[in-house]
């Protein structure tokens, strides 16, 4: 069954959602992140996807205390935001992170990130590849909080990391992030056909239980869900039941 990752994005210790990564287009949710994580755990969550948006902006982990609290309750936490060096990785692992998510740095400093994959092992690191589809439909990577678009494609960077043991990839189609317009099924299907050995997590656009069924049928290994759960379009319990039934 496809793994579900309920997501919490944090600014100043508060749960928020950004529209297409824009800090000026922010929805704030008056929720305690630890309480919300425990709510997801009660509904059956094994994992939580925790995004440190302050860390991403400042270039170092900020919400280590919240991470430690959540991990202390037994939830497996996949977290990222602001990882620039080896010390940042160590801080997150020591605070209880099960997996650390690395994004732009994998594009900008691939040799450094390859060395971390070899040091910590492929189960401890998820590479986050955020893509924009160009005019030809090729998924080109976006970096620097989505302000820059690179020439390298999703397939090219995956091939670059496979020899160092790449296992987990989180792929966001930026055009669908926060839009509740449905996931980028064709993109994910093509990727899984080319790289069946990679555990692919889909992010962006999920707005209905049918989206989850479609992702599972497309062979996607995991789905990250933020806005759909926080806005009450369905519950995590309903999502898990849907995948079991389908």
Give me the catalytic one of 9, 173, 177, 211: 9
CA distances from 198 to 99, 211, 221 (A): 15, 21, 9
- What is the SS3 assignment for 68? helix
- What is the SS3 assignment for 213? helix
9 counts as catalytic: yes
Count the Cβ atoms, other than its own, within 10 Å of residue 21.
17
Torsion of CA 214, 216, 221, 226, to 10 degrees: 50
- What is the SS3 assignment for 198? coil
Count Cβ atoms within 10 A of the Cβ of residue 89 and give its class: 0-12 exposed, 13-18 middle, 19 or more buried.
Answer: buried
* Contact predicate 151/140, CB 8 Å: yes
87 counts as catalytic: no
β-sheet bridge partners, residue 178:
none
Q: How far is Cα 54 from Cα 59, in angstroms, rounded to an integer?
A: 8
Q: Which two tokens stand for residue 153?
A: 């494609």
Give me the catalytic one of 22, 52, 85, 130: 130
Instruction: List, by residue number, the catalytic residues.
Output: 9, 130
């Amino acid at each position: 069954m496809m793994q579900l990752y309920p997501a919490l994005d944090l600014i100043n210790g508060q749960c928020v959602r950004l529209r297409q990564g824009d800090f000026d287009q922010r929805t704030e949710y008056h929720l305690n992140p630890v309480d919300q994580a425990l709510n997801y755990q009660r509904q059956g969550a094994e994992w939580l996807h925790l995004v440190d948006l302050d860390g991403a902006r400042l270039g170092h982990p900020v919400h280590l205390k919240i991470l430690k609290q959540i991990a202390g309750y037994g939830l497996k936490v996949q977290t990222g935001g602001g990882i620039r060096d080896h010390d940042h990785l160590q801080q997150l692992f020591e605070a209880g992170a099960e997996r650390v998510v690395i994004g732009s740095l994998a594009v900008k400093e691939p040799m450094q990130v390859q060395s971390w994959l070899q040091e910590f092992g492929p189960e401890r690191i998820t590479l986050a590849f955020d893509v924009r589809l160009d005019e030809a439909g090729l998924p080109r990577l976006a970096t620097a909080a989505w302000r820059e678009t690179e020439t390298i494609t999703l397939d090219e960077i995956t091939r670059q990391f496979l020899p160092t043991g790449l296992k987990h990839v989180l792929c966001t189609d930026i055009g669908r992030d926060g839009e509740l317009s449905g996931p980028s099924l064709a993109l994910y299907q093509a990727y899984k056909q080319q790289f069946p050995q990679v555990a692919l997590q889909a992010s962006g656009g999920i707005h209905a239980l049918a989206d989850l069924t479609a992702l599972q049928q497309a062979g996607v290994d995991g789905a990250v869900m933020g806005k759909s759960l926080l806005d009450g379009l369905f519950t995590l319990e309903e999502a898990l039941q849907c995948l079991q039934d389908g």
